Amino acid sequence: MHPLADVEDDVEIGEGTKIWRFAHVRCGARVGANCILGNCVYIDAGVSVGNNVKIQNGVSVYAGVTVEDEAFLGPHMTFTNDLYPRSFNGHWTAIPTRVARGASIGANATILCGTTIGEYSMVAAGAVVTRDVPPYTLVRGAPARVVGYVCMCGRKSIGLPVDEGLYGAKIPCECGRTNGVAADGSFCPA
């Protein structure tokens, strides 16, 4: 932990986790093993971050957000946690948001509260996510839309059209895995 990081009391930090300068981890937070919290990262009170998570510079993980194992949060991506924000409203409830195992969120993306970022999905840089992201999909745009499928390794499956009745198709990835399109339309290891 960098000497200029601020880790409050009653925080659980897993073995091998690195915390850069000016990061702030609030009381009651749990950060798993072998994580990296970059410069100026903020982890709110009670937040849970899994193992092997990389949180890049300038990311704030607010109350209500859960980040599962092996997720990647790109530089300056943003979470919200209130659907009706007002500076004068003292009666708000944090709306839960889930970043599932292995999901990656690109730089400057915005994630609306109440959404789930599916397993091993990828949110493109600058995307605005307003609804759930299915597992193994690539989303981009504002609002974010599914534009393809990604392998567990993160590579986009070239030439695999979205919504063309390919359910059950087996697609080889250049990494050597063979992946398939599940009945729900998501891309998954076969």
- Contacting residues for 90 by C-beta, under 8 A, at least 6 apart: none
Alpha carbons 55 and 34: distance in angstroms, whole number:
12
The one-digit pLDDT tens for each residue of the chain (190 residues) are 899 999 999 999 999 999 999 999 999 999 999 999 999 999 999 999 999 999 999 999 999 999 999 999 999 999 999 998 888 877 888 999 999 999 999 999 999 999 999 999 999 999 999 999 998 889 999 999 998 888 888 887 755 555 555 666 777 777 777 777 666 666 666 5
Alpha carbons 151 and 104: distance in angstroms, whole number:
12
Say which residue the tokens 């091993």 belong to.
120
Q: Are 125 and 108 in contact (CB under 8 A)?
A: yes
Token readout for 181 is 């399109």
- Contacting residues for 37 by C-beta, under 8 A, at least 6 apart: 5, 17, 18, 19, 20, 23, 25, 31, 43, 55
Among the listed residues 148, 168, 146, 166, the one whose alpha carbon sits nearest the alpha carbon of residue 158? 148
pTM of the entire predicted model:
0.91
Alpha carbons 39 and 51: distance in angstroms, whole number:
19
Among the listed residues 72, 91, 75, the one whose alpha carbon sits nearest the alpha carbon of residue 83? 91
Specify the pLDDT at position 186. 66
**Pairing label, strands 42-43, 60-61:** parallel
